[in-house]
Amino acid sequence: MKPKIAVTREVFQETLDRLSQHFDVSDNQTDKILTPTDLANLLHDKVGALTALTDPIDESLLLKCPRLKAVCNIAVGYNNIDVPACTKRRVMVTNTPGVLDATTADFAFALLLATARRVTEAEASLRRGEWERWKLKQFLGADVHGATLGIIGMGRIGQVVAHRSRGFDMRVIYHNRNRLDPATESAFNAGYADMETLLGTADFVLLMAPYSPATHHLIGAPQLALMKRSAIIINMARGGIVDDAALIVALKNRAIAGAGLDVYENEPQLNPEFLTLKNVVLTPHIGSSSEATRKKMAMTAAENLIAALTGGTPANLVNAPTSS
């Protein structure tokens, strides 16, 4: 008899086919959002789970699912999972780093360009039938070429963005908890700056830092006040890193020029005040959403789960002590 696993959200058929070679798979191809009770009922007799960021894996759920041995997230982030609780119960946790770096970096530039050049605002005006003639001052935006890009969180994706920025002749400054080595800085032509200097200097501030209690509301009213009135902030990281209420105030008051957001606090219930603003571009957490990349993410998570439950060590194990 094959071990029982569950896939908590809709995935590609090829992912299910791969998992079915090893496991008795319960799926959720209707993509129903599971309540904590639904999730516990689904996983109570399973040894493994393929999960998404929408699935809270916490102490309460683990108590109800004593057979669980592995939880494999289809995401780089795993703040939906209580890793210490899993480690204590010897449940392996994995994520999917690496496979989405280039795609997410592409989208960071898409969001940056759309915000700088007011693409969504201009398109909405055109669709409303408001374009009557060419005007010299129509939808004046900001140049990206030659501008200063400040990256907060210069990890894998941040470094790919820095590489992309060369095509726009941008100056790159960055802030990390730990400074990069000189060779890496040189490779990306990036200079280190403290947070205050970066915020006060950058024309575009790109957030790529991971979410944790330490980075909750990393960008709030005091930090936004340091930015230039002409500056634009782009959040590609996680909701909660930015104090959305403070950002809305800054956008309303034109304390900064604009924002491009792919993530939000309490998503998908974003603050409705965002919808009233013209100087913000909003997308629904689709930074890694190319077909090829999402398929790679799902299959990477599946391979992690197969390794975890067939005696191997998953390639992307987050809590290594559980493997012994």
Question: For 201-257, what is each residue's pLDDT tens digit?
Answer: 999 999 999 988 999 999 999 999 999 999 999 999 999 999 999 999 999 999 999
Burial per residue of 87-101, b for 16 or more beta-carbon CB atoms within 10 angstroms, e otherwise: bebebbbbbbbebbb
> Which position among 238, 265, 294, 303 bears the catalytic label?
238
> Are the C-beta atoms of 90 and 62 separated by less than 8 Å?
no
Is the pTM higher than 0.85? The answer reads yes
Q: Among 22, 44, 217, 285, which one carries the catalytic annotation?
A: 285
Q: Out of 44, 89, 216, 267, pick the active-site residue.
A: 267
Whether the ω angle into residue 182 lies within 30 degrees of 0, i.e. cis, is no
**Res. 321: pLDDT tops 80:** no
> pLDDT band at 320, cuts 50/70/90?
confident
Residue with tokens 């400054």: 173
Cα 34 to the chain's mean position, in Å? 21
Question: Does the active-site annotation cover 285?
Answer: yes
What is residue 202's three-state secondary structure?
Answer: coil
Angle at 238 between CA 115 and CA 224, to 5 degrees: 55
Domains with residue ranges and CATH for the chain? 4-99+291-323 (3.40.50.720), 101-282 (3.40.50.720)
Angle between helices 156-165 and 101-116 (to 10 degrees): 50
Contact predicate 241/218, CB 8 Å: yes
**Sheet with 92-94, side-by-side order of all strands:** 24-26, 4-7, 48-51, 70-73, 92-94
Residue 274 structure tokens: 């965002």
Confidence of residue 185 (pLDDT cuts 50, 70, 90): very high
Average pLDDT in the chain: 96
Residue 238 annotated as catalytic:
yes
Residue 160 confidence (pLDDT) above 70:
yes
Instruction: Assess whether pLDDT exceeds 90 at residue 324.
Output: no
267 belongs to the catalytic site: yes
Reported as a pLDDT band with limits 50, 70 and 90, residue 134 is very high
Q: What is the band of 322 on the pLDDT scale with cuts at 50, 70, 90? A: low
User: What separation in angstroms does the CA of 234 have from each of 28, 249, 262?
Assistant: 33, 16, 8
Three-point CA angle 107, 112, 114, nearest 5°: 95
Buried b vs exposed e over 153-188: b needs ≥16 C-beta within 10 Å?
bbbbbbbbbbbbbeeeebbbbbbeeeebeeeebeeb
